[in-house]
Chains A and B, each alone.
Chain A
């Protein structure tokens, strides 16, 4: 039973009412008088030098107020990655450069009085390019005579840019080769993920202006307002004290907005012209020129003894980071660090590989952050091993997965582009997730059924297990301020960044729980670098776990202050509790309202503002766990795969808000199903994108989703607020392997390259060439 009144409840999202009534909340819902509109001229070539750029005609066009080329913007190498400082991503990017590195790279930016003038101005710009040989396949990047994509002298933090290598790892625990040789059963394969895009419904957008003090204000659809402020300061040579970044409501991010992608150009326009400016990506730009999933080729080798105990795990990755290395090293590390510890029984573990530059769109942070690519390979390989042994794949997983009280050397060896932090898994409901999931799905019964359900129509049943983490240990910090008003209500100020997930609501619930008040007594202000305390932002499954604990700590400090006043009023040192806006003296009828305490503190005695700020850094990153089960139907005439039923049992620690938790889980599953079934950004022979729109790049709709059943397996994570962990990412890792395993179960064919579209199915079945 839930013993809490604030947490563990399906509280309505605090911004929900404003969202369903269409209130102006998003970046673009406010416009400013005299605002300029920006447009970016983008490279038609995958790899080229800009020989000449003539903007004179564009500059003469009435209404054009600013034109930026590499010649008139500051040149300083940086990373667009919104990560803690110093960033583990290479400094390989410039605001504008004289070299372009993919089709869609930035060449010139125009700001004008209207969007149509800006668009017209772009058409007047003449650019002469010298085309360079391009790398369109990551394997080509490593070849001896491959073109060098980043030959700029300023580059920092890339492993070996002359060889197009952003990051390289060769890590071994035990002796994998020997263990594989000694294994009774061994499997090996290469699994490949595609270019996929986050597709937030709201594209990247930013509006900047100078306030009455001359301070640069940047309203941005960002997941990382504080990192944005720091990076803008560096790039534009404006002190942090002269920049304010505000995140209003934002229309989804999924990692694409863990970037400082367009704020630099917009802010520059405001600084140069002193006018408000607005820059928004079109849907095509969002597809091509924002960020994508990292396409990876993941080779996995597994060895097990005669009983199915894993002896060797080997993961070797070639990761394509595209033209710039933002998040390149860390996404790669996470492909191992978030997957290999799941099977901690294997004593011999190897993780190796390269992250390489190519002349294709830039991969970045994407919900799952590498684990998605890692699990596709690992969980398909586990199924193959089970087949080889004639064992139920579920049983093989049960034998080998990590359990409470256990650890893995990988936690220490692999961190954020460097060494990680050792940890013992304390809360782990994976065993129960598997049991509950298999029962709800009917795993054993379904696997007895005939696979051919009609002529040419087959059904298959697949599963996968997975984990992620909660926050980046000993790196990321979150903080919160709570201050009391005299009526006994509170303001909660957090740097945490609600990108639609409902984190403002979750954080308010945590504060309400600690302070013994109802939700209507709390107003949340989040993500304004001038008014809220620092928070790293919304990424790495951190907000509930890390920011939540900062809020709990701040609320607990405020509670102490409230109780110290109450103690004076009661003239008793007896035990007290906060409940429904009152302090109660236990064992008596005595009570005092928060309002009385508020008025007293403001106006009467011991006068002071009751408030507190607390910060939190975690020493561990407790993984959420999940077991996924899927039933698919495959029509071998059309090649169409229909997911019929999906069961996800998820260990989220305490679910602070079960409804919002389920929303995170279902949303990530459907995105993952898109990776499995349809989503892929494709390119022509010159690196030109072929399908950057919603007609040709298929995001799943209501018609494409299966029946989805979510089972919350609640555990208690002692290091999280009220036992909570974060679950925004973990479930995006399941659909790719679970669906691939289900397809094998139906057809006896392994599909190792995502997505599994009807064309791919028919080609493999040899029904089309």
Chain B
């Protein structure tokens, strides 16, 4: 079947299998920036994308559900030439180790900062609680989200 949706601000029209998950379709279409899927149950958060600005584990979303919606992967944040403040802060504060969980965590943080530009530490912890990271122990990630909030308030990304 064919499905039409917005992916990282581009209209796409994909031929998909009705039974496949958004994760599977994204990977099949070359979106290797979406990691994870070994739990296949939305438990680890690694495969998180934004669906109409709401973080969801893409392995639990049937592809049919995204018709007409907007999907964002970590590619929506920024690239090497134009990093999003979140990406910068994660690098600056050593919040990345193996990096496998990072695309999902960045998207959750992006959604949070768009809703609450100035979140409390507790709000950040609450928001990131569905995304497991076994390397960092989270401390530097929480600090990085705080730092990114600050960077965004100071005037957003560099041009």
Confirm or deny: A121 has a beta carbon within 8 angstroms of a beta carbon on chain B.
no
Confirm or deny: A237 has a beta carbon within 8 angstroms of a beta carbon on chain B.
no
Confirm or deny: B12 has a beta carbon within 8 angstroms of a beta carbon on chain A.
no
Confirm or deny: B153 has a beta carbon within 8 angstroms of a beta carbon on chain A.
no
Closest to B19 in A: A116
Whether A702 contacts B44 by the Cβ 8 Å rule is no
Confirm or deny: B132 has a beta carbon within 8 angstroms of a beta carbon on chain A.
yes
Confirm or deny: B96 has a beta carbon within 8 angstroms of a beta carbon on chain A.
yes
Whether A13 contacts B138 by the Cβ 8 Å rule is no
B-facing mask of A221-256, CB < 8 A → 1, else 0?
000000000000000000000000000011110100
Q: In the bound complex, what is the Cα–Cα distance between A26 and B106 (angstroms)?
A: 18
**In the complex, what residues of B have CB within 8 A of residue A251's CB?**
35, 98-100
Interface hub of A198, A201, A662 (most chain B Cβ within 10 A): A201
Confirm or deny: A21 has a beta carbon within 8 angstroms of a beta carbon on chain B.
yes
Given known A-B contacts A19-B102, A20-B106, A13 and B94 have beta carbons under 8 A apart: yes
Confirm or deny: B34 has a beta carbon within 8 angstroms of a beta carbon on chain A.
yes
A-B interface contact total, Cβ < 8 Å = 174
Stretch at the interface among A208-216, A368-376, A496-504, A552-560: A496-504
**In the complex, what residues of B have CB within 8 A of residue A703's CB?**
125-126, 129
Interface hub of A22, A202, A280, A670 (most chain B Cβ within 10 A): A22
Given known A-B contacts A12-B91, A252-B98, A667 and B106 have beta carbons under 8 A apart: no
Q: Output the least CB separation between A683 and chain B (Å).
A: 20
Q: In the bound complex, what is the Cα–Cα distance between A13 and B131 (angstroms)?
A: 22
Confirm or deny: B68 has a beta carbon within 8 angstroms of a beta carbon on chain A.
no
Closest to B128 in A: A702
Stretch at the interface among A74-82, A281-289, A629-637: A281-289
Whether B98 contacts A702 by the Cβ 8 Å rule is no
Whether A500 contacts B99 by the Cβ 8 Å rule is yes
Q: In the bound complex, what is the Cα–Cα distance between A703 and B128 (angstroms)?
A: 8
**In the complex, what residues of A have CB within 8 A of residue B124's CB?**
702
Q: In the bound complex, what is the Cα–Cα distance between A619 and B106 (angstroms)?
A: 44
Whether A695 contacts B43 by the Cβ 8 Å rule is yes
Q: Output the least CB separation between B60 and chain A (Å).
A: 13
Q: In the bound complex, what is the Cα–Cα distance between A666 and B133 (angstroms)?
A: 12
**In the complex, what residues of A have CB within 8 A of residue B55's CB?**
none
Closest to B76 in A: A22
A-facing mask of B63-102, CB < 8 A → 1, else 0?
0000000000111011110010001001111101111111
**In the complex, what residues of B have CB within 8 A of residue A663's CB?**
94, 97, 135-137, 140
Q: Output the least CB separation between A182 and chain B (Å).
A: 44
Q: In the bound complex, what is the Cα–Cα distance between A503 and B108 (angstroms)?
A: 28
Closest to B91 in A: A16
**In the complex, what residues of B have CB within 8 A of residue A202's CB?**
35, 38, 98, 100
In this complex, how many residues of chain A approach chain B with their Cβ under 8 Å: the count is 56
**In the complex, what residues of B have CB within 8 A of residue A705's CB?**
137-139
Set A23, A201, A660, A668: member contacting B36, Cβ < 8 A: A201
Whether B83 contacts A201 by the Cβ 8 Å rule is no
Q: In the bound complex, what is the Cα–Cα distance between A249 and B96 (angstroms)?
A: 13
**In the complex, what residues of B have CB within 8 A of residue A666's CB?**
136-140
Confirm or deny: B53 has a beta carbon within 8 angstroms of a beta carbon on chain A.
no
Q: Output the least CB separation between A15 and chain B (Å).
A: 7
Q: Output the least CB separation between B36 and chain A (Å).
A: 7
Whether A694 contacts B94 by the Cβ 8 Å rule is no
Given known A-B contacts A19-B96, A22-B75, A667 and B33 have beta carbons under 8 A apart: no
**In the complex, what residues of A have CB within 8 A of residue B74's CB?**
20-22
Q: Output the least CB separation between B20 and chain A (Å).
A: 10
Q: In the bound complex, what is the Cα–Cα distance between A501 and B130 (angstroms)?
A: 23
Confirm or deny: B32 has a beta carbon within 8 angstroms of a beta carbon on chain A.
yes
B10-43 residues at the A interface, CB under 8 angstroms? 32-36, 38-41, 43
Confirm or deny: B46 has a beta carbon within 8 angstroms of a beta carbon on chain A.
yes
**In the complex, what residues of B have CB within 8 A of residue A282's CB?**
38-40
Closest to B38 in A: A203
Q: Which 5 A-B pairs have the closest CB atoms?
A: A500-B98, A22-B33, A19-B99, A251-B100, A670-B137
Query: Can you list 19 residue pairs at the A/B interface with Cβ under 8 Å?
Result: A19-B98, A21-B80, A22-B73, A22-B74, A24-B32, A198-B134, A201-B132, A201-B135, A249-B99, A251-B100, A254-B134, A500-B100, A501-B97, A502-B97, A659-B93, A663-B137, A667-B134, A701-B128, A708-B137
